Amino acid sequence: MRVLLAMWEGGGTIPPELTIARKLVARGHAVRVLGDPTIERAARAAGCEFSPWVTAPHRTNLDPSTDILRDWEFKSPFALFRHAMNVFFCGPVGRFAHDTEQVLDQHGADVVLFDWILFGAGLAATARRLPCASLVPNIYMRPAPGIPPVGIGFMPANGLIGRIRDLAVGTMVIRLWKKGLPWINDARRVRGLPAVAGIFDQADELDAVYVLTTRAFDFEAASLPPNVRYVGPQLDDPDWATPWTPPWPAADTRPLVLVSLSSTFQNQAGVLRNCLAALANLPVRALVTLGPALNPADFPSPGPQVSVASSAPHTQVLANASAMVTHCGHGTVMKALAAGVPIVGMPMGRDQNDTAARIVYRNAGVRLKPTASPGEIGRAILRVIDEPSFAAGARQQADAIRRETAAFDLARDIERIAGHAAPNERRVGQRQLVPHL
C-alpha cells in the first residue's frame, strides 16, 4: 500500500514516527514522508520517499533563529499556547491542508498518517474519505475525564480541591483552544466538511488515534473515544546518533549516568553546565549528549569521569546505565524506562512537565526545576541510584513497555484500516466521550 506520513520538525517526535515508517517499509509498503526539509535525510534513511511542506510553516535548518515556536521566550505556558495556536497549531491549518492535498494529487495514498497536531493534514485526508489515523508521540494530549489538564505538570486530582483545580484550568484550556476554531472550520468549509463544535471533534472522524506510550505510564482516563489505541513507545534511535565507545576501562564499576537535555534548542545551555558541575564531584561515570542543537566545544568536560559527545545511541548506553538526567522529552524517557533506568527529570516546557509528573507518580524517578543548582542535581542523581525503590519503579515500567508493545501489532492495524471501506463516513457525528474543544 501507499502510505503518506505527515510530520513536522518536532525534535523528539521524529524518531518514533519514523520508527513506524520503518516498520511499514519492512513489510513492503511505500511510505512518503511529508515534512520539513530538515527531516528529509532521516526519512530517506528510513526507506521513505520525501516531499516538503511548501506553503505551510516549516524549517530548512536547525538554527534557533528559524524556530517557529521559540518556546524558550515565553514565561507563561498559556502565553506560549496562544502563540503556538496562532503561528502553528491552528492559524496555518489551511496551508497544511493545501500542501497535503498537493502531495496526494501528485503521488496518491491508500492511508494517511499524521502527527496529531497537524490538523490540516488530517482534515485534508478526511475530506477525501481516505483511511486516516493520527500519531500521538507522547502522552495522551486530548482532554479526558480523570486526566488533569496538560501543560503544567499536574498530578491526578486528589479530593475536592484537586477536582476544582482541574475544572478551573481545564475550562481555561478549552477557551484557549476554541479561539482556533474559526481557522479550523474555515478550512473544513472550503473542503465541504461540516463545522465542528470543538477542535478535537475531528479526532472522532479518524479510523484510529495511536498513542505512542503505555497505559501503565500515562494517567488513567475514566473514558476514552473508541478509536484511541495505546500502542506502546517506538524506540529507534535517531539516524544522527553516532557510535560511542566508553573511554573508561572495562573494570570500572562506578555507576554510569546518561545526561541528555533535548535534541532541539530550548535555551538549555545553563542547565547543562549545572549538570556538568554536579557530575564533577560525584562517584560516577557520566556521558553527556548534546544533540544537534549545541556545540561540544562550548561544554568542556569537568574531568575524566565525564564524557561529552554530540550524540550516542541512547539504547546502547542505557543498557548499562544506573540513572538518567533528562529534560523529560517523552521519547528519551521511554528509552530510559524501557531499560529499567530511573530518572532525574528537569522539564523545561512543552509536554515535559506532564511527562515528569508521570515519572514521579510511577515512582520511576524524581523531578527538579531547570533552575536547580549543581548541588541539588548531584543529590538527586545519588538518590535515584542509591534508593532501590526508584529502580524498582523503572523496572515495572520496563515490564509494561515490553508487555504492551508486544500486545499490539501497529503495522498490521494500519494495514487493517487501509483496507476498511468508507470509515470516515461512519465516524462523522460519532457520540463524544470527552468535553467539546
Please give the mean pLDDT across all residues of the chain.
Answer: 92
CB-based contacts of 297, cutoff 8 Å, min separation 6: none
| CATH number, domain 256-403 | 3.40.50.2000
> In the sheet that 111-115 helps form, which strands lie side by side, from edge to edge?
49-52, 30-35, 2-6, 111-115, 132-136, 208-211, 228-230
Q: Does domain 2-232+408-427 have CATH number 3.40.50.2000?
A: yes
pLDDT of residue 152: 86
Mean pLDDT of 169-177: 90
pLDDT of residue 434: 39
pLDDT of residue 428: 39
Amino acid at 310: S
- In the block, which residue shows the cell 498518517? 113
CA angle (211 as vertex; 206, 217 as ends), nearest 5: 155
Between CA 395 and CA 361 the distance in angstroms is 14
Between CA 210 and CA 212 the distance in angstroms is 6
Choose among 202, 201, 203, 141: nearest CA to 173: 141
* Percent helix, strand and coil across the chain, each to the nearest 5: 45, 15, 45
Domain ranges in the chain with CATH number 3.40.50.2000: 2-232+408-427, 256-403
pLDDT of residue 345: 97
Backbone angles phi, psi at 367, to 5 degrees: -120, 135
Q: Which H helix or E strand runs over 270?
A: helix 269-279
pLDDT of residue 359: 98
Mean pLDDT of 285-300: 90
User: Please, which pLDDT band fits residue 430 given cuts at 50, 70 and 90?
Assistant: very low
Residue 151 has pLDDT above 90, yes or no: no
pLDDT of residue 339: 97
Q: Which is more confidently placed, 435 or 74? A: 74
**For residue 23, what are the CA distances in angstroms to 3, 202, 322, 328, 400?**
12, 27, 30, 26, 21
Between CA 222 and CA 220 the distance in angstroms is 7
